[in-house]
Amino acid sequence: MLNNKGKKSYKGYLYLLPALLVLSVFVFYPIINAIVFSFDETKAVGYVFGFGSYKYLFEDKRFLQSLVNTVIYAAVVPALSVGLSLMIANTLANLKNEKLKGVFQSIYFLPYVTSLVAIGVVWSWLFNGQYGIINYLLGFIGIDPINWLSDPNWAMPALIIFSVWKSLAFNTLILTTGIASINPQYYQAAKIDQATNSTIFRKITIPLVSPIILYTYIISLIAGFKVYTEVFVLFNGRTLDGRVSTVVMYIIDRFYGDQDFPLAFAAAVVLLLIILTVTFVQRTIARNKVHY
């Protein structure tokens, strides 16, 4: 029996082999290589093999600013996006009119299936300091025009608004599905128990979709740390004195611009570690809170 069991698990590894090979070539090998390379000599100051790149990295104002920007972005965008999505999803789920519900669901999902580049072009017009509709609307409530895309102080808020709007689509879709999968009897029971709509939302809906809230939040958080495309399409590759530079932008800049590979790799490794840590912490906290 024991022998038989041993044979079986051997066979099991064999089935894993194709996936393992592909992952090894395209994921594990590059990661390990990046880590190894990150200890290599860096052009920047001519450090020799060792922690030179890392040391340089944490003395580099450009990197530190990119890191701070990324952290701010990852702290604000996922939280805002998931929170808003939850409210939209709940409103959608409570719509009685099925036709209207379908129409609204499609509208909310549109940004997800539209090219980010196209959306970026549209939003850069919306944000336009002179002709943009956002400034036009703000004018009605007496706010002076803001140079969203060229004023370094307003660049990050513009980026956050744009990114939250963009990510609402996917999060709303997932959360709507999550809310729809809650047994309607809980809602009937809560109504019979004379709960108000806000009580139902807080005490029934949120706890019952909490695993899905966590899922969307972690996915958004990881995407938040890896943000690049959003910045690129909205600001057309500019970083406004580094005010909207992110870690990934820094990596790309070092890699293709300066061709300082060890430095780029070191930055990539730092990002990897941050994402791993944050995800791990999130999951540990969540494991104690999200279950029923």
Q: Footprint of another protein on this chain (CB under 8 A)?
A: 183, 185-186, 188-196, 199, 203-204, 207-208, 210, 292
65 and 253 in contact (C-beta within 8 Å)?
no
| In the complex, minimum distance from the CB of residue 211 to another protein, in angstroms, rounded to a whole number | 11
| In the complex, minimum distance from the CB of residue 212 to another protein, in angstroms, rounded to a whole number | 14
| In the complex, minimum distance from the CB of residue 292 to another protein, in angstroms, rounded to a whole number | 3
| In the complex, minimum distance from the CB of residue 145 to another protein, in angstroms, rounded to a whole number | 48
Check residue 162 and report its DSSP letter: H
Of 26 and 186, CB closest to another protein: 186
111 and 169 in contact (C-beta within 8 Å)?
yes
Of 46 and 184, CB closest to another protein: 184
Report the C-alpha gap between 20 and 65 in whole angstroms. Answer: 37
| In the complex, minimum distance from the CB of residue 192 to another protein, in angstroms, rounded to a whole number | 5
Report the C-alpha gap between 245 and 62 in whole angstroms. Answer: 8
Of 200 and 240, CB closest to another protein: 200
Of 140 and 292, CB closest to another protein: 292
Q: What angle do CA 289, 290, 292 make, to 5 degrees?
A: 105
Report the C-alpha gap between 39 and 50 in whole angstroms. Answer: 5
Q: Reduce the DSSP state of residue 31 to 3 states and report it.
A: helix
**Under 8 Å CB-to-CB from 130, ≥6 apart: which residues?**
145
| In the complex, minimum distance from the CB of residue 179 to another protein, in angstroms, rounded to a whole number | 15
Q: Which residues of 88-103 are buried (b: 16+ CB within 10 A; e: fewer)?
A: bbbebbeeeeeeebee
Q: Which residues of 71-82 are buried (b: 16+ CB within 10 A; e: fewer)?
A: bebbebbbebbb
First to last CA, the chain: 39
Report the C-alpha gap between 55 and 127 in whole angstroms. Answer: 39
| In the complex, minimum distance from the CB of residue 181 to another protein, in angstroms, rounded to a whole number | 13
Strands (E), the chain: none
Of 71 and 182, CB closest to another protein: 182
Residue 66's alpha-carbon distances to 152, 234, 247, 255, in angstroms, are 14, 17, 5, 15
Of 79 and 204, CB closest to another protein: 204
Of 32 and 189, CB closest to another protein: 189
| In the complex, minimum distance from the CB of residue 13 to another protein, in angstroms, rounded to a whole number | 36
Of 193 and 241, CB closest to another protein: 193
Q: CB atoms < 10 A from the CB of 27, how many?
A: 10
